[in-house]
Amino acid sequence: MAKYGMVIDISRCTGCRACMEACKVENNTPQGSFFMYVFRFEEGEYPNTRIWFMPRPCMHCDNPPCVKVCPVGARYKMAEGFTATDWDRCIGCRYCEVACPYGVNYFNWRNPAESHYLNWEDDREIELILDGEVLPYANPDLELEYGPEMRHNAGGGRLKGVVEKCTFCIHRVENGLDPACAANCPTNALHFGDLEDPESEASQILHEQSGFQYLEDVGAEPRVHYVGGHPPTTETREIEIVNVRV
Amino acid sequence: MKLTRREFLKLSGITGGTIAASSLLSGGLKTLIAGAKGSLTTVDERTPTTCWIGKQECGLLVRKVNGRVVKIEGHPAHPRNQGTLCPKGISQIMALYDPNRVKTPLLRTNEKGIPGEWEPTTWDEALRIVGERIKDVRARDNDLLVWQKGRSKAGNFYDTAFVKASGATKLHHGGFCSDAGYRACEYTIGLHGVLHPDFRHARYVLSWGWNATNAGGNKLCWLTWPRQLVKAREAGMQMAVIDPRLRGAAHFADDWLPIRPGTDLAMALALCNGLIEEGTVDWDYLRQYTNSPYLVNEEGNFVRDGDTELVWDQASGMAVPHDTPNVDAALEGAFDFDGEQVRPAFQVFKEHIAEYTYEMAEEICGVPAQKIQKVAQDLGENAMIGSSIEVEGSVLPYRPVSIMAYHMAQQELGFQAIRAMLMVTMLLGAVGAVGGQRSDFTWKIHGNYEKLDEIEIGDPPYNIYLKNSQYFPINSNNSSLVSWVQQNPENYGVDTIPEVVILHMVNPLTAFPDQRVMIDTYKKFKFVAAIDPWLSKTADYFADVILPAATLEKYEGPMGVSDQYTDAQSLRVPPVEPLFQSRGEIDIYIDLCEHADILYGEGGYIDQINQAFRFEEDFALPLNSKPATRDIFDRWARSEGIEEGVEFFEQIGLHDKGSVPATSYYGYATDPVFGGAVHRLYGESLLGYQREMRARGVDEIYWQDYTALPTWRKPTMDLSPDDYDLYLISFKMIEFKQSRASQIPLLAELAPQSFLEINPVTARERDINDGDEVWVESHNAVTLETRRVKVTAKYRESIRPDVVGMPHHYGEVARHPWAQGQGPTPNELFFTGEGYVANTADQSFHVKVKVSHV
């Protein structure tokens, strides 16, 4: 059985944020919700300045604080490495959001359809051009059930009052495809694969290069590893910040 | 899992047989234990097509579920993007389904100069009105008609066929982009382009300006260049960055030289001087392939025998024709010829740049002399002068150093600055060598190599962009300058002011400086028609008629889509029918030409299309019947030898033409070498233009940069009073780069507002905190006018303290809910006209400003 993870090569990342957009369109997330986020960082003082970028998906931790606090088993760990959310079962208590050291959980305060980019429910013009059928800006794959447990874990549902986060695009992985962010990365900085398989590209990169895990000392044991750079420090400043909550 | 080119070719059978686009997706991961439950009623399909939103025509697979586009992904086999897309490419799904597009043809019902009030009309009525106007002005004087483009995505149909059929004067956008660099390269080495590396073999690249990772670049857009850059770095390539801001190159910079804006020419000449002092010069190249050995007399002209330039033969001690076999031409020294002192052009160059020491460059450019010296040494070392390498069976010079530069060309000294930068790599012998300096995808000599050398300056009256004029003999056709001239046409010998303009996907009011001048100009047009998917600010204020264009959903092209190593062709194919009542531009022009009586017959639009595509015999469109756009592309595909015609592109989207052979790629491998173009270190004709301009009594501001060799002077902006103590530069962001995109919700969310980058030291001196609102006021050193905008300050340690920076892109679309409150564009602060354009009429994006707390 494959056990998936991601290796992110910071030295390749140009900070373009295309992964954020590939994720948003693939997963149909509402405004302010970024299952994948890319930090743009500045360090040092002029002229000894450095700029670098750090993509941040869900870490899909092996010792996940979010799973431990979920009172209903909606957040659960899959044998294949995914830290999954069953949106059908989530009650929206937001404990996971508090427990997560990485800030990857997004609570749907509103009906996500209202904070989608186009208000599909109200626009008659769109209804007209789409033959009277108001198709939402949505990926139908997200509504299906995935994994051996056959649960609603693909970031679908779009329900008010539930928590959502990066799913590692389980609906794509199920079909043999990389998660949307990794599949799209123009400079191939995101490597998704079976970290238990020494032959996988991700394993090999991790084997060849010394890496780090973000906030390693927290002990959550992330399945996302970084190579080609260093972790942010207290001297690292975020620039070109995107407002991630509305 | 990404598809390799080999796998794609296998799948597509190269030219025979077609396949379903969905089979281009190959999964490489083990699937989970149980499969998902799929819906049986879902129709899930993928249409291959070509990106619309950006500059470089990446390949797309558009996924549709039950007829609705749900995602746009990269075409896995496309040489430029290989299954990936930039943020814009992905987000254009929101441009497609944007309910704020112009949905029907619109007629203006109120006065111009204020936001429009619009009445929907039929296509027939709208085209009739525009057609009548075209007929009217054409009957009186063709010079009354102007066609102005933003970015044209099917040059044969628009720039060539429509412009020729209508006889319109064409206005470009290049004078805002990089055209000063194009002119410099065309003139100096005969190639149509600016400067880029041969990344496959590069060892050391000087990234000059902000393009490396943050948007754009020569010939290609952002996506392909960083892909090649990252690969090259992993193969050991070093990169030094010359830019007032570090942001554009980010962590890819091994060395950062934060240069003072507008001083690039001095830096380049200091590097040239340093290379000569260090002795890292490729003498063989200079002697054989450049005009360096040509003898120059005391007046600055080449010494000739008839039409042939002479060189000094060191063996015989005589001046002989440069093409004398086995000549041992001197590059240095001074010689007596017919009682006159003559020197090889290289000697003149060497003496000319002797004063450009590292210390002088430090003073001018504000970068420590040691840093500049290190760059010169690194260039010299990495150039490996004298080395060679075998490529495809040919042994070619190997000089793995180059300069990557693009938008920085748009500065007052831009033309000569790029010439000076090119001279750096010429001294190293890197031009056209393996791993060396590139300017175009292939080594094809452009017509401007000759044309720019033999311009005949004409007498007034001049046309509106002052073609062949005594003011800008080399002329990049700058729409800002056109507007400037129209304010006082009599001052420039212009006597015909156009009445009708067709705006083709262009928004001059926001996209071009100076905004106030633009407004005054568009007021003067008697009739403005806009072809656009959105209500641009220009259209909102000045259009009489708006013709709604489709976005991605149309046939358009064809496009050459080389990534510089692999060549291919593609088309834009509509994944869905045009939305609302929009139409593809080719359809619009066909019908518009019919209404204007310029569609049929000889010289008509159809005939011009035939000529533009060189359609002959069976492929030629009949001149008396209206063609369908898809049919034109079908003929084109068949004329290219693609038997399946347009269907080939509808099925797989990409015609792979294979690797670019070394014999057309490397200047040293072409026959003749460098396409036969002698590289012009010394610009004799430039000096000739200066003389003629002076003889005609033209002011110094026009002729001062027409010098045979690049010569440093302070930019005009430096004459602004001392309290305008900061330089404003502009830049582009990857979120919006190369297109009108700030109204696309996904992108607007990423970068919702304009901002001013300011060094914290500079900010604190003015009591400005990070995030404060500030006034930025610019000053025109020639007219003494000022402009002012309010914008949010953002602290950046990665910008020079005497420089502030602002992004372009904002304020493009009028009355779009997502474009509200996004803040100003720096084009509100830049000026045009004398002092703010180059000697080639190219727009400068530099100005002195003062910044104060609101």
Residue B136's contacts (CB-CB under 8 Å, 6 or more residues apart) are none
- Alpha carbon distance B636, B655 (integer Å): 13
**B798 to A42: CB separation less than 8 angstroms, yes or no:** yes
- Tell me the average pLDDT across A164-176: 94
Angle (deg, nearest 10), helices B358-365 and B264-278:
170
**A194 to B30: CB separation less than 8 angstroms, yes or no:** yes
Q: How far is B256 from chain A (nearest CA, A)?
A: 8
Nearest CA in chain B to A117: B745
Neighbours of A167 (CB within 10 A): 28
- Which of A26, A78, A117, A177 is most worth mutating to test chain B (most B CB atoms within 10 A of its CB)? A117
Position B823: which residue type? G
Neighbours of B812 (CB within 10 A): 24
Q: How far is B441 from chain A (nearest CA, A)?
A: 21
- Which of A3, A4, A21, A123 is most worth mutating to test chain B (most B CB atoms within 10 A of its CB)? A21
Supply the pLDDT for residue B18: 44
Residue with the two structure tokens 């290379």: B275
**A80 to B1: CB separation less than 8 angstroms, yes or no:** no
Residue with the two structure tokens 């070719």: B9
Size (chain B), residues = 854
Question: Which residues of chain B from 794 to 833 reach within 8 Å of chain A, CB to CB?
Answer: 794, 796-801
Residue B175's contacts (CB-CB under 8 Å, 6 or more residues apart) are B410, B476, B477, B478, B479, B480, B481, B841, B842, B843
| Strand B846-853 relative to strand B726-731, pairing | antiparallel
Q: How far is B738 from chain A (nearest CA, A)?
A: 14
In chain B, residues with a C-beta closer than 8 Å to the C-beta of A185 are: 84
Listed by start position, the domains of chain A span 4-239
Supply the pLDDT for residue B723: 98
Supply the pLDDT for residue A127: 64
> Virtual CA dihedral for B186, B243, B229, B71, nearest 10 degrees?
-100
- Alpha carbon distance B186, A222 (integer Å): 54
Nearest CA in chain A to B224: A186
Residue with the two structure tokens 């001095």: B266
In chain A, residues with a C-beta closer than 8 Å to the C-beta of B734 are: 14-17
- Alpha carbon distance A231, B732 (integer Å): 28
Nearest CA in chain A to B226: A187
B248, two tokens: 């554009």
Nearest CA in chain A to B69: A137
- Alpha carbon distance B778, B730 (integer Å): 13
In chain A, residues with a C-beta closer than 8 Å to the C-beta of B42 are: 140
Nearest CA in chain B to A115: B745
**A80 to B32: CB separation less than 8 angstroms, yes or no:** yes
B759 to chain A, any CB pair closer than 8 A? The answer is yes
DSSP string, A4-59: EEEEEETTT-----HHHHHHHHHHTPPTT--SSEEEEEEEEETTEEEEEEEEE---
B374, two tokens: 């290190």
B796, two tokens: 């950046």
Q: How far is A148 from chain B (nearest CA, A)?
A: 5
- List, run by run, the mean pLDDT of 10-residue segments along chain B (854 residues): 62 50 61 50 85 93 88 95 95 89 96 96 98 98 96 93 98 92 98 97 96 84 92 97 96 97 98 98 98 98 97 97 96 96 98 98 98 98 98 97 97 98 98 98 97 98 97 96 94 96 95 90 95 95 98 96 96 94 97 98 98 95 97 97 96 94 97 97 98 98 98 98 98 86 92 96 98 98 97 98 95 86 94 97 98 96
Q: If you compute the radius of gyration of chain A from its CA atoms, what whole number of angstroms results?
A: 18
Q: Within its chain, how far is the Cα of B497 from the centroid?
A: 28
- Alpha carbon distance B840, B478 (integer Å): 9
Instruction: Domain A4-239: give its CATH code.
Output: 3.30.70.20
Nearest CA in chain B to A20: B87
B164, two tokens: 């020729």
Q: CA B72, B73, B76: angle at the middle one, nearest 5?
A: 150
CA atoms within 13 A on the CB side of B54: 32
Which residues are registered as beta bridge partners of B502?
B147, B529
Check whether the bond before A64 is cis (ω within 30° of 0): no
**A46 to B761: CB separation less than 8 angstroms, yes or no:** yes
Nearest CA in chain B to A44: B797
| Closest CB to A130 among B68, B252, B258 | B68
- Alpha carbon distance B103, B661 (integer Å): 47
Supply the pLDDT for residue B16: 41
Supply the pLDDT for residue B129: 98
- Alpha carbon distance B757, B224 (integer Å): 27
B32 to chain A, any CB pair closer than 8 A? The answer is yes
- Which of A12, A14, A52, A168 is most worth mutating to test chain B (most B CB atoms within 10 A of its CB)? A14
B395 to chain A, any CB pair closer than 8 A? The answer is no
In chain B, residues with a C-beta closer than 8 Å to the C-beta of A80 are: 32
A68, two tokens: 């431990």
CA atoms within 13 A on the CB side of B602: 0
Q: How far is B67 from chain A (nearest CA, A)?
A: 9
Residue B488's contacts (CB-CB under 8 Å, 6 or more residues apart) are none
| Closest CB to A148 among B32, B93, B98 | B32
Residue with the two structure tokens 């300050």: B793
Nearest CA in chain B to A134: B68
- Alpha carbon distance A86, A142 (integer Å): 12
Position B20: which residue type? A
Q: Residue B807: which of B741, B756, B731, B751 has the closest Cα? A: B731
First to last CA, chain A: 39
Neighbours of B27 (CB within 10 A): 14
| Strand B545-548 relative to strand B527-532, pairing | parallel
Backbone angles phi, psi at B133, to 5 degrees: -65, -40
Please name the helix (run of DSSP H) or strand (run of DSSP E) that holds residue B587, with its range, or none. helix B585-595
Q: Residue A145: which of A54, A104, A62, A84 has the closest Cα? A: A84
Long-range contacts: A117-126, Cβ < 8 Å, 24+? Answer: A117/A31, A117/B94, A117/B745, A117/B746, A117/B749, A118/B94, A118/B97, A118/B98, A118/B99, A118/B745, A123/B99, A125/B99, A125/B103, A125/B580, A126/B97, A126/B99
- Alpha carbon distance B792, B773 (integer Å): 4
Q: If you compute the radius of gyration of chain B from its CA atoms, what whole number of angstroms results?
A: 27
- List, in order of start, the domains of chain B with CATH numbers: 180-442 (3.40.228.10), 716-853 (2.40.40.20)
pLDDT, tens digit (0-9, with 9 covering 90-100), for A106-156? 999 888 777 776 655 555 666 666 655 545 567 888 888 999 999 999 987
Question: Which residues of chain B from 83 to 102 reach within 8 Å of chain A, CB to CB?
Answer: 83-87, 89-91, 93-94, 97-99
Q: Residue B443: which of B179, B178, B190, B196 has the closest Cα? A: B190
**A18 to B746: CB separation less than 8 angstroms, yes or no:** no
- Alpha carbon distance B167, B626 (integer Å): 20
Longest CA–CA span in chain B (Å) reads 94
In chain A, residues with a C-beta closer than 8 Å to the C-beta of B745 are: 31, 117-118
**B34 to A148: CB separation less than 8 angstroms, yes or no:** yes
In chain A, residues with a C-beta closer than 8 Å to the C-beta of B223 are: 186
Residue B242 · residue B270 · CB < 8 Å:
no
Q: How far is A60 from chain B (nearest CA, A)?
A: 16
| Closest CB to B796 among A42, A186, A193 | A42
Residue A218's contacts (CB-CB under 8 Å, 6 or more residues apart) are A65, A101
In chain A, residues with a C-beta closer than 8 Å to the C-beta of B70 are: 25, 137-140
Neighbours of B393 (CB within 10 A): 8
Which residues are registered as beta bridge partners of A7?
A191, A225
Residue B478, helix vs strand vs coil: strand
